[in-house]
Structure 1
Amino acid sequence: MYRGGPGMLAWALHRITGVAVLLFLLLHIVETSMILYGPEAYQKALALYKQPWFKPFEFLLVAAVVYHAGNGLVVLVLDLFPYATRWYRTLFWVGAAVYALVMVPVAVVMLRPLFVH
């Protein structure tokens, strides 16, 4: 029986982040189309993004895009160089470390307004 592992985790996260980014794009299209109802309606829609409670969602969107792009590059490397699959587990953990190193400062910068008054 298959018990998962880094490959399964990467696959699942890639699908989840892909759907999350797609849902944001659909929301963004709806929000942008509010301009058709006038500047007031559009400004009201934009004001939603400026609310403090929206910051964590904004961070999660960036985190999803960064993960999805990074894992997409790993998939590209594995497709172009099939022999690299021998090092997939190592490649996964190196990618996870790079992701953490990138996202920690991003979290500090993006979420700081929630904690600094």
Structure 2
Amino acid sequence: MAHRVTGVLIFFFLFVHVLDTALVRVSPEDYDKVVAVYKTPIVALLEYGLVAAVLFHALNGLRVIAVDFWSKGPRYQKQMLWTVMGIWIVLMVGALYPVLGHAVREVFGS
């Protein structure tokens, strides 16, 4: 279920991203306003959520491929799920500063 939810969330992000990028051709001033909104701490948290969704979706997709195409995949799917979760947590901890560092500096000062 989480794989499907993250897939849908990533799709909606891509849809909005295409729309806001297309806005530059229609009204560069409005595009600049939208980009200014993207520099807020709340959007930084949403970016972190996007990173979480993409990483989980990618890692779990590899697990799904292994379950489908490896003869022993179904037998080890639970262990592979825990492995995916462990790798995902490590990567999410590693993404904290690169993704949220600018927002923390903005809120708390340099």
TM-score, length-scaled by structure 1:
0.82
SS of the counterpart of 2:72? Answer: helix
Equivalent residue number for residue 41 of structure 1: 30
Equivalent residue number for residue 4 of structure 1: none
Equivalent residue number for residue 72 of structure 1: 61
Equivalent residue number for residue 106 of structure 1: 95
Q: Output the amino acid matched with 2:7.
A: G
Number of residues of Structure 1 aligned to a counterpart in Structure 2? 106
Equivalent residue number for residue 76 of structure 2: 87
* CA RMSD, Structure 1 to Structure 2 (Å): 1.4
Contact 2:44 2:99 in 1 (8 A): yes
SS of the counterpart of 2:75? Answer: helix
Contact 1:34 1:45 in 2 (8 A): no
Contact 1:21 1:61 in 2 (8 A): yes
Deviations 1:27-63 (A, max 9, x none): 1111011122232122122222112221000000011
Equivalent residue number for residue 56 of structure 1: 45
5+ long unaligned stretches in structure 2: none
TM-score, length-scaled by structure 2:
0.87
Residue 14 of structure 1: how far off its partner (Å): 0.4
SS of the counterpart of 1:50? Answer: coil
